Amino acid sequence: MIDGKKVLFSGMQATGTLTLGNYLGALKNWVTLSEEYECFYSVVDLHSITVRQEPAELRKRARNLLTLYLAAGLDPQKNCIYYQSHVSGHAELSWILNCFTYMGELNRMTQFKDKAAKHADNINAGLFTYPVLMAADILLYQTDMVPVGVDQMQHLEITRDIAQRFNAVYGDVFTIPEAYIGKSGAKIMSLQNPQKKMSKSDENPNASIYLMDEPDVILRKFKRAVTDSEGQILYREEQPGIRNLLDIYCACTGKSPEEAVKEFEGKGYGELKEAVGETVVSVLKPVQDEFARLSEDKSYLDSIIKENAQKANYYATKTLRKVQKKVGFPERIR
């Protein structure tokens, strides 16, 4: 805990462009969590280099992502918003935790299998030990809660296993994190294949709504969204396309699926798509406008980056020094 609040950690990779799914499933919900938790939100650029990146582009995307955090409403005074690479404790703790993680555990990670299949020409050790760095991200701040989707639970479970294994040897060193699962908009699906999650790496440009998409682009993508031939607007698994559109509408408006179904009773799919598209445009416009404003204020962004890195380093160092002492590393001479 910090100042009587439980600690919450999360982060996003500085690759690709954030989608509506990233915003509704995570970023939007993060904003409301700072009142209840002491929040650390990282731009996880160390994780990004398991796949080859163009250096200048990675720096640009990292800065844009941090700016989007702020544009979405994250207060840098209430939340610690920082670059993962600016806190060396992430990498240092990751090495120590590697020595408390078993090969069999890492072999079972489904994300490694998926990414190895996609990047067969670059199956590197970082890709394999990715979950250990993720564990370090979480444990470094004595995190109590981690916002996760169902597809990320495996990584949180291995984090808990590593922490419990370390604690069993050295005592009560790490806080054992719990999952925080948001209720609304937790999983936004592809507009072209509602059986899979909306992704910023989808090859089909019509499958995802990107946070910086122009209004006409957003409306056009929703018009092309896959539905079905049933012709009725119901919230059920048998109609995944319609269910996804209703999920998006509910996440944007705060309405329940039942309320949304009643609102569109007797209306056609075209009207539903148009209404959802216009709602998304109205939700994203303030974020886009604030992103543009912040991007022009270089000195302000630089000050946020510097101050938040100092705060993250302060708390990270407290944990890291404790861990280093426990495993037997020589004390540092100050």
- Does the active-site annotation cover 187? no
Q: Which of 28, 197, 221, 273 is catalytic?
A: 197
Q: Which of 5, 6, 78, 200 is catalytic?
A: 200
Q: Which of 28, 115, 221, 273 is catalytic?
A: 115
Contact 241, 227 (CB under 8 A): yes
- Point out which residues pair with 43 in neighbouring strands: 12, 83
What is the secondary structure of 175-224 as a DSSP string?
Answer: ---EEE--SSSS-PBPSS-TTSB--TT-S-TTS--BTT--HHHHHHHHHT
| CB contact burial 243-281 (16+ within 10 A = b; e otherwise) | bbbbbbbbbbbebeeeebbeebeeeebeebbebbbebbb
Contact 246, 271 (CB under 8 A): no
- Does the active-site annotation cover 115? yes
- Amino acid type, 274: E
Residue 99 is classified by DSSP as T
Query: Distance between CA 325 and CA 33 in Å, rounded?
Result: 33
Instruction: Classify the C-alpha dihedral 208-211-212-215 as positive or negative.
Output: positive
- Does the active-site annotation cover 200? yes
Give catalytic residues, as residue numbers: 115, 197, 200
